[in-house]
Structure 1
Amino acid sequence: MKEIQKELNKNLSHKQQMKLFFLNNFNGKVMMRRSQKFGGWLSAMIMPIIGVIIGWGLLTAFFIPTGWTPVAQINDYVVGPMIAYLIPILIGFHAGKIVHGNRGGIMAAFVVFGVIAGNKYNPGWWDGAAASPQFLGAMIVGPIAAGVLKGFDKLIEGKIRQGFEMLVNNFSMGIIGAALALGAFYGMPWVINGISYLFMLIVGGLVNNNIIFLAAIIVEPAKILFLNNAINHGIFTTLGIPEAAEAGKSILFLLEANPGTGLGMMLAIMIFDKKLRGQAGGASIIQFFGGIHEVYFPFALMRPAFIIALIGGGLVGDAVFQIAGAGLVAPASPGSIIAIFAVAGANGAGNYAAIAGGIAASCVTSLIITSLIFIINRKKYAKQNQESLNVAKLQTVKLKGKESKVIKTDTVKNEINEMPKLIIFACEAGMGSSAMGAGLLRKKIKAAGLDIEVKNYPIKELPTNAEFVITQETLTNLAKQKVPNAIHRSISNFLDNEFYENIIVELKKKVK
Structure 2
Amino acid sequence: MSATTAPAAGTTSRGKAIQVRLQRFGAFASSLIMPNLPAFLAWGIITTLFIAVGWWPNGILGGFGNADTGTWQGAATQLVMAKDGTTFHQYLGLVGPMITYLLPLLIANTGGRVVYGARGAVVASVVAVGMITGSTVPMFLGAMIIGPLSAWVMKQIDAIWAGKIRPGFEMLVDMFSAGIASAAMAVGAFFGFAPIITNVSTWLGDLVNSLADAGLLPIMSIVVEPAKVLFLNNAIGNGALVPLGAQQVAEHGKSLLFLVEANPGPGLGILMAYTLFGIGMAKSSAPGAAIIQFFGGIHEVYFPFVLMKPTLILAAIAGGATGVATMAATGAGLTGPAAPGSIFAVFTATERGSYFGVILTVVLSFAVTFVLSAIILRATRKRDLAKGGGDLQAAIAQTEVNKGKSSTALGALAGAAGVEAATAGTAGPATPIHSIVFACDAGMGSSAMGASILRDKLKKAGRGDITVVNKAVATLDDDVDLVITHTELTDRARGHAPSARHVSVDNFLASPVYDQLVAEITAEDSARANA
Q: Is the 8 A contact 1:332 1:343 kept in 2?
A: yes
Kindly tell me: are residues 368 and 84 of structure 1, through their superposed partners in 2, closer, same or farther at Cα, counting changes over 3 Å?
A: same
Look up the equivalent residue of 1:37 and give its one-letter code. Answer: R
2:369 equivalent to 1:357: no
The residue that corresponds to 1:12 in the other structure is none
Deviations for 1:171-203, whole angstroms, at most 9, x for unmatched residues? 221111111111001011221122112212211
CA distance in 1, matches of 2:436, 2:14: 39
Aligned to 1:289: 295
Paired position in structure 1 for 2:75: none
Separation in 1, partners of 2:180, 2:170: 15
> C-alpha distance in 1, partners of 2:20/2:41?
30
Secondary structure of 1:471's partner? strand
CA contact (8 A) 1:298 1:393 kept: no
Change (3 A) 1:164 1:195: same
SS at match of 1:341: helix
> Which residue in the other structure is 2:23 paired with?
36
TM-score using structure 1 length = 0.82
**Within the alignment, does 1:103 sit opposite 2:116 as a pair?**
no
Given that 1:397 and 1:474 are in contact with CA atoms closer than 8 Å, whether structure 2 keeps it comes out as no
2:468 aligned partner: 454
Equivalent residue, structure 2, for 1:436: 449
Is the contact between residue 111 and residue 184 of structure 1 (CA under 8 Å) also seen in structure 2? Answer: yes
Aligned to 1:499: 513
Q: Structure 1: which amino acid aligns with 2:312? A: F
Indicate whether 1:330 and 2:336 are aligned: yes
Q: One-letter code of the match for 1:99? A: V
Residue 440 and residue 239 in structure 1: after superposition, are their counterparts in 2 closer, same or farther (change >3 A)?
same
In the aligned structure 2, how far is the partner of 1:487 from the partner of 1:192? 43
Distance, in Å, in 1 between the alignment partners of 2:511 and 2:460 is 14
Asked if 2 retains the 8 angstrom alpha-carbon contact of 1:286 and 1:292, the reply is yes
SS at match of 1:144: helix
> Which residue identity does 2:35 align to in structure 1?
P
Partner of 2:36: 49
- Closer, same or farther: CA 102–416 of 1 in aligned 2, 3 Å: farther
Please give the residue correspondences for 1:21-100 in structure 2 after superposition, counting only pairs within 5 Å.
28-75=15-62, 76-100=92-116
- Counterpart mapping for 1:101-500 below 5 A: 101-119=117-135, 123=136, 132-275=137-280, 276-345=282-351, 347-348=352-353, 351-382=354-385, 383=387, 384-389=390-395, 409-410=419-420, 413=425, 420=434, 422-448=435-461, 450-463=464-477, 465-473=479-487, 475-476=489-490, 478-484=492-498, 486=500, 488-496=502-510, 498-500=512-514
Cα separation, 1, equivalents of 2:31 and 2:393: 34
Return the TM-score normalized by structure 2: 0.79
CA distance in 2 between counterparts of 1:469 and 1:72 reads 52
Is the 2:258–2:338 contact (alpha carbons within 8 Å) kept by the matching residues of 1?
A: yes
Q: Is the 8 A contact 1:298 1:396 kept in 2?
A: no
- The DSSP-based 3-state class of the residue aligned with 2:152 is helix
Aligned-pair CA distance for 1:468: 4.7
Separation in 1, partners of 2:12, 2:128: 33
Tell me, in whole angstroms, the C-alpha distance in 1 between the residues paired with 2:132 and 2:515: 51
In 1: Cα distance, 2:373 partner to 2:495 partner? 42
Query: What secondary structure does 1:329 align onto?
Result: coil
The one-letter code of the counterpart of 2:95 is V
For residue 507 of structure 2, what is the amino acid of its counterpart?
N
Q: Aligned residues, how many?
A: 472
Distance change in 2, residues 1:287/1:297 (3 Å):
same
Counterpart-to-counterpart distance in 2, 1:480 and 1:447: 29
Residue identity matched to 2:224:
V
Contact 2:505/2:511 (8 A) holds in 1: no
2:79 equivalent in structure 1 = none
- Stretches of structure 2 lacking an aligned partner (at least 5 in a row): 1-6, 63-91, 406-411
CA 1:149/1:392 → structure 2, altered by over 3 Å: closer, same or farther? farther
The more displaced of 63-72 and 319-328 is: 63-72
State the match for 2:78 in structure 1. Answer: none
Indicate how the Cα distance of structure 1 residues 170 and 396 shifts in structure 2: closer, same or farther if over 3 A, else same: farther
Deviation at 1:473, TM superposition (A): 4.4
Q: 1:142 deviation in Å?
A: 1.3
- Is the 2:309–2:399 contact (alpha carbons within 8 Å) kept by the matching residues of 1? no
- Partner of 1:34, secondary structure, is helix
Amino acid across the alignment from 1:413: G
| Whole-Å separation in 2 of the counterparts to 1:458 and 1:265 | 27
- CA-CA distance at 1:141 after TM superposition: 1.0
From the superposition, tell whether residues 145 and 316 of structure 1 become closer, same or farther in structure 2 (CA, over 3 Å): same
1:271 Cα shift?
A: 2.4
3-state SS in 2 of match to 1:332: coil
Shift of 1:165: 2.2
Deviation at 1:368, TM superposition (A): 1.6
The structure whose Rg is larger is: 2
Cα distance in 1 between the residues matched to 2:111 and 2:480: 23
Give ranges in structure 1 of 5+ residues lacking alignment. 1-19, 124-131, 400-405
SS at match of 1:148: helix
The question of whether the paired residues in 1 share the 8 Å contact of 2:27 and 2:473 is answered with no
% identical equivalent positions = 42
| Rounded Cα–Cα distance in structure 1 between residues aligned with 2:99 and 2:254 | 14
Counterpart contact for 2:440–2:473, Cα < 8 Å: yes
| Aligned AA (2:265) | G
Secondary structure of residue in 2 paired with 1:158: coil
SS in 2 for 1:426: strand
Q: Structure 1 68/107 Cα, relative in aligned 2: closer, same or farther at 3 Å? A: same
Distance in 1, Cα, partners of 2:308 & 2:488: 20
Q: Secondary structure at the match of 2:468?
A: strand
Closer, same or farther: CA 304–393 of 1 in aligned 2, 3 Å: closer
Q: Aligned partners of 2:304, 2:120: CA distance in 1, in Å?
A: 38
1:14 alignment partner in structure 2? none
CA distance in 2, matches of 1:397, 1:416: 30
* Structure 1 CA distance for aligned equivalents of residues 17 and 487 of structure 2: 20
What does the per-residue CA deviation read over 1:214-251, in whole Å, with 9 as the maximum and x for residues that have no partner?
32222222223333323222222111113223433211
**What do residues 384-418 of structure 1 show as CA deviations (whole Å, max 9, x unaligned)?**
4434445667789879xxxxxx9985457366655
Q: For residues 252 and 474 of structure 1, do their structure 2 counterparts lie closer, same or farther at Cα, with a shift above 3 Å needed?
A: closer
Q: Distance in 2 between matches of 1:85 and 1:428?
A: 27
Q: Is the 8 A contact 2:319 2:365 kept in 1?
A: yes
* CA 1:83–1:261: 2 relative to 1, 3 Å: same
CA contact (8 A) 1:328 1:344 kept: yes
Q: In structure 2, what is the Cα distance between the partners aligned to 1:30 and 1:443?
A: 36
Residue type of the alignment partner of 1:117: T
